[in-house]
Chains A and B, each alone.
Chain A
Amino acid sequence: MFHSFVQILDHVFHFQKAKAHCDIPCGIYDPHQAQVAALTVVRMIDLMEGLAKREEKGSVAYDNSMSRYIAVKEEHAELTKHEIRIIWGDFMKGKKLDENPNLHDLVHQIMLLGSSARQSADREVALQLVDAVNEFAKIFWDVKGVETKTAKAPYAPSLEMVYPVL
């Protein structure tokens, strides 16, 4: 009875919520996995385009390779989204968010680009995904007080990536 009464008061006054929460946060956060996953999406599109030019469509070898590239592209676009969501949801809190007011928009952009990268084989979209994830990585390391540098990835597709200077 009291609970119902207080619940009505809560609907009106919106009481603060205290977490008796039960997660086990390991405290290990690193955007590198998201960056590599986004880079993999570009790589898979390059391989798909190369295969389409080289192999005869409809052959068993073509179907086998193309389906593998598509599957890996799907998986890594989703992995990119997953990794960013974890850092954004579990690490970026309070003051970290206040100091980076554009972060929500950036994460939303990454979610949209990740989905577009799954839906299409558009290299431009995949490049935008890499750029957005790099921007997120830069913010992440800034928040941690770690200097960053930009350098070409030492493997194809050799795009400019943000790395922490440790």
Chain B
Amino acid sequence: MFRFIKVTGNSLSPSYQEGDYVLIGTCSFFFGINVGSNIVFTHPDYGLLIKRVSRIHPSGDYYEVRGTHPQSVDSRIFGLIPKKYLVGKVLWHISQS
């Protein structure tokens, strides 16, 4: 139900920095995903990613995700994320600073 994940890359900087850790809840039923939630998901081409939800499709089955960095690879590049790709919601951000 809970997992620690290490953050690599800078797409969510300055909020999340390379080397930070997050504790994620893997049961979306309990933790609920909303606009603004940070989620971890597995993309078939890009692997395990962490991004912020910017929009939820009215069906509730797809998320639009964004990085906060202007050059982030996110839904602008790879489209909506199906709910089945979801690994978990970030519950606790453990920053280095």
Which residues on A are within 8 Å of B, measured CB to CB?
2-3, 6-7, 9-10, 13, 15-25, 93-95
Contacts and interface: CB of A to CB of B under 8 A. Distances in A.
B46 A20 contact: no
Nearest to B47: A19
Given A3-B21, A6-B94, A20 B49 contact: yes
A20 B6 contact: no
Q: Is the interface of A mostly helix, strand, loop or mixed?
A: mixed
A10 B6 contact: yes
A21 B46 contact: yes
Given A16-B3, A93-B47, A21 B73 contact: yes
Nearest to B88: A18
A75 B58 CA distance: 54
Given A6-B21, A15-B21, A93-B47, A22 B5 contact: no
Contacts of B3: 15-16
Nearest to B16: A20
A3 B23 CA distance: 11
Contact of A20 (B7, B44, B45, B94): B7
Given A3-B95, A24-B73, A25-B77, A17 B48 contact: yes
Interface of B: 3-13, 16, 18, 20-22, 40, 44-51, 67, 69, 71-73, 77, 94-96
B6 A15 contact: yes
5 contacts: A7-B21, A18-B6, A18-B40, A20-B7, A94-B47
Contact of B9 (A6, A10, A20): A20
Contacts of A15: 3-6, 21
A18 B38 CA distance: 12
Contacts of A6: 4, 21, 94
B22 A19 contact: no
Given A9-B4, A25-B77, 10 more contacts: A6-B4, A10-B6, A16-B5, A17-B48, A18-B40, A19-B48, A20-B13, A20-B49, A22-B72, A24-B77
A24 B33 CA distance: 27
Contacts of A3: 20-21, 94-96
B73 A18 contact: no
A13 B5 CA distance: 11
A16 B6 contact: yes
A40 to B, nearest CB: 31
